[in-house]
Structures are given as structure tokens and as C-alpha cells.
């Protein structure tokens, strides 16, 4: 697979289970073995319908990936700005 980059999310206690995966057109947040969020180059954001708010750890790193709080994420889901889909 060409042009795919994988990084651990940087924070004060970076875990080896929290990743950002980048392709030419898309950026993903993976927590453990599950894709939690997807950002497209055009700015669209998709969250996994079942796992986007799965645990405290997932939520903490999802907030870092999206650069926002849980309240902001919930507001964007409710408004339709973020779509809940099956990413796994």
C-alpha cells in the first residue's frame, strides 16, 4: 500500500493503541482495532455509529483528533454536520 502513514496520537501520555492513519485523501482515527472517525480532504467528518463514544480512552483521543470537546461533537452530530456511519 502506497502513500499510507500511521502515527501514534501525541499527547502527554501517548498510548500505543491510539493511531492516526493518513492517506492522500483521508485521515482516520483508530482506537485499538476500531476505526472511530474519518476526515476527508474536503472537510467531511464521519464517526463510527457504534464506537465513536465507546470508552473514556477512546473519547479522550477522539477529542484530540477532532480538536474539540464532547459537547461540541454531540452538537455537530445533532445538527447533521457529522454523520454516524459504520466504519468497521
Rounded distance, CA 29 to CA 62, Å? 7
And the C-alpha cell for 76?
455537530
Using 50, 70 and 90 to split pLDDT, how confident is the model at 13? low
Residue 9's pLDDT band (boundaries 50, 70, 90)?
confident
Q: What is the pLDDT of residues 42-86, one digit of tens each?
A: 999 999 999 999 999 899 999 999 999 999 999 999 999 999 999
Q: Which 3 state secondary structure label does DSSP give 38? A: strand
Q: Report the pLDDT value the prediction gives residue 15, as an integer from 0 to 100.
A: 60
| CA separation for the pair 46, 74 (Å, rounded) | 13
Q: What is the pLDDT of residue 6?
A: 78
Distance CA 45, CA 62 (A): 12
Is residue 1's pLDDT more than 60? no
CB 61 within 8 A of CB 9: yes
If one counts the domains in the chain, the total is: 1
For the entire predicted model, the pTM comes to 0.87
Amino acid at each position: 500500500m502506497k502513500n499510507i502513514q500511521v502515527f501514534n496520537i501525541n499527547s502527554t501520555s501517548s498510548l500505543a493503541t491510539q493511531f492516526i492513519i493518513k492517506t492522500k485523501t483521508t485521515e482516520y482515527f483508530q482506537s485499538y482495532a476500531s476505526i472511530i472517525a474519518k476526515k476527508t480532504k474536503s472537510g467531511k467528518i464521519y464517526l463510527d455509529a457504534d464506537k465513536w463514544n465507546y470508552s473514556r480512552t477512546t473519547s479522550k483521543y477522539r477529542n484530540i483528533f477532532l480538536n474539540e470537546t464532547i459537547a461540541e461533537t454531540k452538537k455537530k452530530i445533532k445538527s447533521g454536520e457529522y454523520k454516524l456511519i459504520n466504519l468497521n
